[in-house]
Amino acid sequence: MPGRVLSARGGPIAGPYDPTDRFTYWPVRVARGGDMLAPPMPHAAVQFIDGRDLAQWVICMAEHKKTGVYNVTGPEEPLTFDQFLHACQETIGNDVTLSWASPAFLAEQHVKPWRDLPLWVPEEVQGMLQIDMTKSTADGLTFRPLSETINDTLTWAQHRPDTYVWQAGLTPEREARILAQWRRAERSNSIPLV
């Protein structure tokens, strides 16, 4: 319905109250500290948008009766997975030792992209996290600091019940087993490390 509908195609949504845990997993995991399993390709792009920024922009667009198709994701500047995890470390003030496992090793361990290591997608579909949002920013899309999204998400997640069942990410026990296997693989070179 050209000229009659606003179609806001949001990227992965981050921030407090996101039920998917795709973003939430990472600040919570960094806060736990220690050795941490990280996905392959530290320089791969990662995209998400704070749900509050998305909501604010949609309301503004509706108030101005704007129509059309928009890609609505963030952050404002390109962000790599490595930069994202280091932003989590800096914001939270907790050091972790990142183990950037290889795709071959993760496949051997049955670690699923997107679900077990959220926001990570295989190289062949990296384009889904490299969306151009120039049209949205030209029409007023703004972004709060990444540190605010990280901090607010962590604070919210820490107040969930102990019985909460995570929707994405690795349990501490499974991650520890995989990291132990990764260290053995690195020592023996029995699994391709790239």
pTM reported for the whole predicted model: 0.92
Which residue from 74, 75, 71, 73 is spatially nearest to 7, judged by alpha carbons? Answer: 71
- The gap between the terminal CA atoms of the chain, to the nearest Å, is 47
Q: Report the pLDDT value the prediction gives residue 192, as an integer from 0 to 100.
A: 55
Residue numbers of the chain with a pLDDT score lower than 50: none
Domain membership flag for residue 23: yes
Domain membership flag for residue 153: yes
Q: Residue 35's Cα: distance from chain center in Å?
A: 19
Q: Which runs of consecutive H residues, i.e. helices, occur in the chain?
A: 25-32, 51-63, 81-92, 103-108, 134-138, 146-157, 172-188
Which residue from 159, 164, 2, 134 is spatially nearest to 68, judged by alpha carbons? Answer: 2
Tokens of 30: 């960094």
Tell the burial category of 162 from Cβ atoms under 10 Å away from its Cβ (0-12, 13-18, 19+): exposed
Domain membership flag for residue 30: yes
Q: How many domains does the chain have?
A: 1
CA dist 143 and 48 (Å) reads 11
CA dist 109 and 175 (Å) reads 10
Q: Report the pLDDT value the prediction gives residue 124, as an integer from 0 to 100.
A: 86
Look at the block and give the residue holding tokens 């077990």. 116
Domain membership flag for residue 194: no
Specify whether the CB–CB gap between 73 and 160 falls below 8 A.
Answer: no
> Which amino acid is present at 189?
N
Percent helix / strand / coil, the chain, rounded to 5: 40, 15, 45
Q: Report the pLDDT value the prediction gives residue 186, as an integer from 0 to 100.
A: 85
Domain membership flag for residue 193: no
CATH number for the domain that contains residue 130: 3.40.50.720
Give percent of the chain with pLDDT exceeding 90: 87
Domain that holds residue 28: 6-188
Q: What is the pLDDT of residues 9-35, one digit of tens each?
A: 999 999 999 999 999 999 999 999 999
Q: What is the pLDDT of residues 56-72, one digit of tens each?
A: 999 999 999 999 999 99
Specify whether the CB–CB gap between 156 and 16 falls below 8 A.
Answer: yes
